[in-house]
């Protein structure tokens, strides 16, 4: 006995735009992860440089201040 599909069931082939969006999603997923990781690394590096600047400024102020030097 042959199987008969309902006539209301229609399968549309994927559109070119839909296929491109799906492909872009697959390709960009890893790229976005890398971009976020790179951005976070940059934030941490900026914080480290800011800390170094604060410490250098503190040393320069201590050297420039008149009076006894702390050792």
**pLDDT tens digit sequence for 15-55:** 888 888 887 777 777 778 888 899 999 999 999 999 999 99
SS3 assignment, position 31: helix
Q: 59 is written with which tokens? A: 């040393």
In this prediction the pTM is 0.51
SS3 assignment, position 5: coil
Phi then psi for residue 38, to 5 deg, are -65, -40
Kindly indicate the confidence band of residue 8, based on its pLDDT and cuts at 50, 70 and 90. low
Integer CA distances (angstroms), 23 to 26, 29, 67, in order? 5, 10, 69
- Residue 68 predicted with pLDDT over 60: yes
């Amino acid at each position: 006995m042959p199987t008969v599909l309902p006539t209301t069931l229609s399968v549309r082939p994927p559109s070119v735009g839909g296929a491109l969006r799906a492909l872009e999603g697959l390709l960009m997923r890893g790229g976005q992860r890398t971009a976020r990781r790179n951005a976070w690394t940059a934030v941490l590096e900026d914080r480290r440089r800011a800390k170094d600047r604060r410490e250098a400024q503190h040393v320069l102020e201590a050297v420039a201040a008149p009076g006894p030097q702390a050792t």
